[in-house]
Structure 1
Amino acid sequence: MIALAGCSSNGGTQKQEELVSDTFDIEDGDHRNWKFSPQANVMLKYEFTVIDGPPVDVIVMREHGFTDYSKDKEYTYYIDGRTMDAESKSVEIGLAGQNIYYLVVDNTAKGEATPQPDGKTAVASVEIAAEANPV
């Protein structure tokens, strides 16, 4: 993994975008992701809680990082937008417009959180809400 710093500045008339507000189960070795493409600079805010199961990783990355992540290669992500091996957290990160980003909830061994080997507790039940607000 290679970490990147986030950025923010004023600009644009873009409206707030809700990316996700959901509760779901993620199997051992799986992930969930949400793709978004802000036209102007945004402040991404996400909050999550693991309701049941092992800690997870929540990662913000650009398209090329997600492509590498999907191919099980070393991948880049925003260090200010990541939460590793955690059960709950609220994060805000500034992101530049005109890019494609992914918000990933990871229940694999690709990050720092490693799923439990006993099938029963390896499933993570996660509640997450995320939105991108223009800055």
Structure 2
Amino acid sequence: MRKSIQRRTFLASSSAALLAGCISDDEDADTTQNGGGDQGNNFNGGGESGGGSNNPDTTESVQTNTLVDDTVDVSEDEYRYWTFTLNQEATLSYEFTVRNGPNVDVILTDQEEFNSYQDGNRFRYASSGSSLDSIGDRISTDIPADDYVLCIDNTEAGEAQPPSNLDDDVARVEIMAVIES
């Protein structure tokens, strides 16, 4: 579902992110613009893993869940985003490449700040988990439990600015994001 939004809207993003636990039944958390409702992925802590071995070489199991692995077109003055919930600290890792079109902002923020972004207001974002005015990057950051949004922004809300050439400058972005806990 694509809706036209004002340039003063927000965020950029995509790539690979690592998180924790079990994915909820909502498999398609990809949304465009002000897309919908309570979509997203829920990542629960996996608790203790492993057997009863006293072997010092036994390591804890790491759970990896894919948030997104896709190529998306982000029209000028629009954005794409993915929502997810962490129930424990995890590592988000993502990699993105703009294959065609203008630089974008890929922004990691919490749900409350994303609401401010969508309303055209100032918003805060996780600088260690964001990549601004870029054609590609590889990010990995530890983040605490919370509700998050990873956004690819092709608006004037962030650092990257769509060209003022009266054309619809679409950014084609490959993004892979995973969550590991």
TMscore range, shorter length: 0.7 to 0.9
Partner of 1:39: 87
Shift of 1:117: 2.4
- Cα distance in structure 2, aligned partners of 1:54 and 1:41: 33
- Cα distance in structure 1, aligned partners of 2:89 and 2:152: 23
Match of 2:114 among 60, 66, 70: 66
Higher relative contact order (CA 8 A, sep 6+): 1
Higher gyration radius (CA): 2
- 8 Å contact 1:54–1:121 — kept in the other structure? no
Shift of 1:38: 1.4
Deviating above 6 A after TM superposition, structure 1's stretches of 4 or more consecutive aligned residues are: none
Shift of 1:121: 6.4
One-letter amino acid of the structure 2 residue matched with residue 42 of structure 1: A
Q: Which ranges of structure 2 fall in alignment gaps of 5 or more residues?
A: 1-9, 11-44, 48-62
CA RMSD of aligned residues (A): 1.6
- Cα distance in structure 1, aligned partners of 2:67 and 2:166: 30
- Cα distance in structure 2, aligned partners of 1:113 and 1:48: 15
Partner of 2:128: 80
Q: Which ranges of structure 1 fall in alignment gaps of 5 or more residues?
A: 2-11
Partner of 1:13: 46
One-letter amino acid of the structure 2 residue matched with residue 40 of structure 1: Q
Partner of 1:126: 173
- Cα distance in structure 1, aligned partners of 2:173 and 2:179: 20
Q: Which has the higher strand share?
A: 1
Q: Which has the higher helix share?
A: 1
Number of corresponding residues: 123
- Whether 2:127 is the aligned partner of 1:94: answer no
